[in-house]
Amino acid sequence: MLLFLTVASAKLQANEFDAVLIWPETYVVNFPMDGSIARVYVRPGQKVDKGTRLIELDPEPYEIRVRQRRAELSAAEPVLADAKRLYEQAQSLYEQTLLSDDELQRARHAYERAGAELAASRARLDYAQWRLKKAIVRAPWDGWIVQRQAEPGQMLVAEQRSKPLLVLAKSEVMAARAEVPLSDVAAIDIGQSVTVKAADQTWTARITALTLLSDPAGKPARYRLDAAFRITPTDVLAPGQAATIRLR
């Protein structure tokens, strides 16, 4: 009987893993173009709502480019209209045998070039407007600002654009992360329901990731297990907080 209880206890412990809490869903803010940071509206630890303005580049260079592209488009439109009119005239003269094949082809090519230039002008305007829109970043969801590496006046150049200026964690979701030995992996599936306990509270969670960790040669293989769960504004939790994951 004592042996049975010892084995049962060992099995129970094998189904429970020490873990830490993490933010599983984060939004990294950076910009796809160079520029000067005009304003940073948030600070680390701040709670923001979806749509909140987070950071903004100086919009003036992008506004100037939009005006320039609009002017180019306005200039290209009458050129196309004239080219179309001349081509239609050339077709009429050609049908009356008053125009050669070469002259008709030149008129057609001029019309096609004018149309292509107008299309290119529209594309350049669309791109300029897209860049202007991208100069302002808003929160894609409710969340917490967990990192800020941006200040007004800071210049952004190509090699800096891959670095996070802000990191926003989704406030509705947390995850417990644990390391599990290879011997336990066979009992774990992505999407499996588990229990997470932290700060004397318990949540039903689902396994969202099971990743093989790189270990030095000769050491047993281990896996990283993430179990995500939804939280409410009244839950007092923080990344790095101790937790446990129990397999059901």
> What are the pLDDT digits (tens) for 188-247?
999 999 999 998 899 999 999 999 987 666 677 889 999 999 998 888 888 999 999 999
Residue that finishes a domain, picked among 134, 154, 185: 134
Q: What is the mean pLDDT of the chain?
A: 90
The confidence band for 15, taking pLDDT boundaries of 50, 70 and 90, is confident
Q: What is the pLDDT of residue 9?
A: 39
How confident is the model over 44-54, as pLDDT tens digits?
Answer: 999 999 999 99
139: containing domain: 26-57+135-169
* Nearest alpha-carbon partner for 197 in 232, 137, 237, 150: 237
Which of the pair, 214 or 168, is modelled with greater confidence?
168
pLDDT digits (tens, 9 = 90+) for 70-99: 999 999 999 999 999 999 999 999 999 899
Same domain, 208 and 164: no
Q: Kindly state whether residues 226 and 185 are assigned to the same domain.
A: yes
Domain count, the chain: 3
Distance CA 40, CA 153 (A): 10
pLDDT value for 159: 66
pLDDT band at 160 (very low <50, low <70, confident <90, very high): low
Does any domain span residue 243?
A: yes
* Token pair belonging to 187: 């009992």
Outline where DSSP puts E strands in 122-240.
136-138, 143-148, 155-156, 166-170, 173-181, 193-198, 201-212, 222-230
Q: What is the pTM of this model?
A: 0.76
* Distance, CA of 129 to CA of 64 (rounded, Å): 10
Average pLDDT over every residue of 100-120: 96
Show the beta-strand stretches assigned E in 90-142. 136-138
Does 129 share its domain with 192? no
